Amino acid sequence: MTRLTDDIIIRAVARIMIPFIQIYALYVIMHGHHSPGGGFQGGVILGASFILYLITHGLEEARARMSELKAGIFSASGLLIYSGIGLLCLILGSNFLDYGRLSLILKVIPAQARSLGILGVEIGVGITVMAVMFSIFFDISTGGIIPEDEEIKEENG
Amino acid sequence: MDNFFLWLGMGLFFLVLLCLYRGVFGPGVLNRVAAISAIGTKTLVILLIMGYIYQRVDMFVDISMVYALLNFLGTITVAKYLEMSGEI
Amino acid sequence: MEVTVLIQTADKAFEILEKARNEARELLYSSAKIASETKSLEAKRAEQAFLSGAQHTKLAIRNYTLTFFMLFAFWVLLSGRLDLFHLTLGVLSCLLISYLSYDLLFANVRIGDIRIMFKRFFAAAPWFLSQIFTANLHVAYLALSPKMPIDPSILRFNTKLESDISWVALANSITLTPGTITIDIRDGEFFVHAIDKKVASDLDTGEMEDKIAHVFMEADHIYIQDILDVSRIFGELK
Amino acid sequence: MIAPFDIVILLLVLICAIAAISVKDLLSAVIILGAYSFLMCLLWSEMGAVDVAFTEASVSAGIGTVLLIAAVSKTKRRSKD
């Protein structure tokens, strides 16, 4: 599924489509509170754009853009954003993920603080979902074996 | 006007039924892939028609946008699978 | 008299241009061969950096800004909320996306071409639409007539276009016209499936190719559109 | 709630579901499952659950089909029975 094949039409069309898919995914994440969508859906669409790049451009170029190490870091950092906002609310003396208390830091009214807190949480969810979806597809399609690693192994022993 | 869009939607459903015949009984994978991608485009239009009937087009445009942007991903994947398994 | 002298000098200039172009093309092909034969991505990158040299950073900055503005227009079209908060979010996310994929959208477009390209595209659009409309009627006639007078065949022709983006545009506009489907492109050779003799002969005139070449500014051949442009100037001279 | 749409979509979903479990070829089953998810998205949005429909659309069109085909590519396509 990840081998590079010589189809110029699909590659060029994917190259043109991918930035628009990504900006649409970010639109879905950012406008989650007053239109359908949110962190999970936007993350899935963002992950689909990277999967499209992996399918059309082959394993090697896709790893230069989004490697499995980067995916791991992204998924962890998204979770860090989510739980960090929750813990911040806990430290400020209210319940976990009770964003109203964030108004003490952000110097705005509680309603606006809730909106900003939800936005932060959705960004975290989106990053995590994107990275996890990409790495699930990466692991299934390569079977955990990357050609470079095999060559290195053969050279070593 | 609502009635007009209702009948338009029913006509599109009839076309979906025709495509679905090819998708369910069609000999081989290639017929099925073509039928399903046709169903995808019809789904997009039906969603917009529903949005017009519910008077909330701004919400339904978002869903149909997802189909417009991502509908070809499945088709490409099937084509790549068939090419890599050496069936065509 | 003056006009004939002008034409002769133009012919000579075109000959010299053709020769130089062929040499440059051979050089490019050999370098491209080297670039494609080196296997690893790092080596390919080094080759590209060597070939493009100092222009690379300038090109990257141009691509970055162009991608940013295009994506921001798309964002405003999607969002429709013009208050400061949402516009700030839009600017941030467009910056992120154009950082992630600045080398995707405008990879093979030359500097300074884009505005003329848009103008020529909108000038050529009605011709494409009329072509699609007439082909639609023809295919509807074929499908509805009880005898089904189809005569399917596969055409193959070498194109004179050079950049891959114009290959893709030609292939997609062939596919968009009903009755013809581009099956494959292999090293500039098109494989096109045509449903009928008439559709195939329409394709064989090469008018669509000329239009695409005109839009994408494949500048160094003489195309029908260019001759039409020049002939108007000659008419005014006379 | 649009009653005629409701009945027609339910009928089509039923056809898709029966076809998806009765077909022998795994790849064909995945493709028919894609059609099932299209119609399911129509059903959700017709019932007014726009957010659920959005999730169904993005997951099925973006990830679901691709993941299932990647899984099929690791196995044999034909089922034994």
For the stretch C56-93, pLDDT in tens is 677 778 788 888 998 999 999 988 888 898 899 999 99
- What is the b/e burial string over B19-47, where b = at least 16 CB atoms within 10 angstroms of the residue's CB? bbebbbebeebeebbebbbbbbebbbebb
Quick check: A55 and B76 CB within 8 A? yes
Quick check: A21 and B69 CB within 8 A? yes
> For residue A134, what pLDDT is reported?
92
Q: Is residue D49 part of a domain?
A: yes
Q: Is the ipTM of this complex over 0.90?
A: no
Residues 14-73 of D with CB under 8 A from B: 15-16, 19, 23, 25, 27-28, 31-32, 34-35, 38-39, 41-42, 45-46, 48, 50, 53-54, 57-58, 61-62, 65-66, 69-70, 72-73
Q: Is residue D60 part of a domain?
A: yes
Per the structure, the complete domain to which residue D57 belongs is given by 24-74
Report the domain count for chain D. 1
Mean pLDDT within D44-69: 90
Q: Is residue D13 part of a domain?
A: no
Q: What is d(CA D43, CA D60) in angstroms, rounded to the nearest whole number?
A: 14
Quick check: D57 and B63 CB within 8 A? yes
Q: Is residue D4 part of a domain?
A: no
- Which of A26, A60, A118 is the mutation pick for testing C, counting most C CBs within 10 A? A26
Return the partners of chain A (3 or more C-beta pairs < 8 Å): B, C, D
Q: Is residue D2 part of a domain?
A: no
Residue-wise pLDDT for A33-78, tens only, equals 778 888 899 999 999 999 999 999 888 888 888 888 999 999 999 9
Q: What is d(CA C135, CA C162) in angstroms, rounded to the nearest whole number?
A: 27
> For residue C38, what pLDDT is reported?
46
Burial of C140 (0-12, 13-18, 19+ CB in 10 A): exposed
C87 and C143 Cβ atoms separated by less than 8 Å: no
* Chain D partners within 8 Å of B24 (Cβ): 15-16, 19, 23, 32
Minimal-distance CA residue of chain D relative to A143: D74
* Chains A+D touching (3+ CB pairs under 8 Å): yes
pLDDT exceeds 90 at position C207:
no
Size of interface B-D (CB pairs under 8 A): 107
How close does chain A come to C110, measured CA to CA in Å?
16
Minimal-distance CA residue of chain A relative to B64: A36
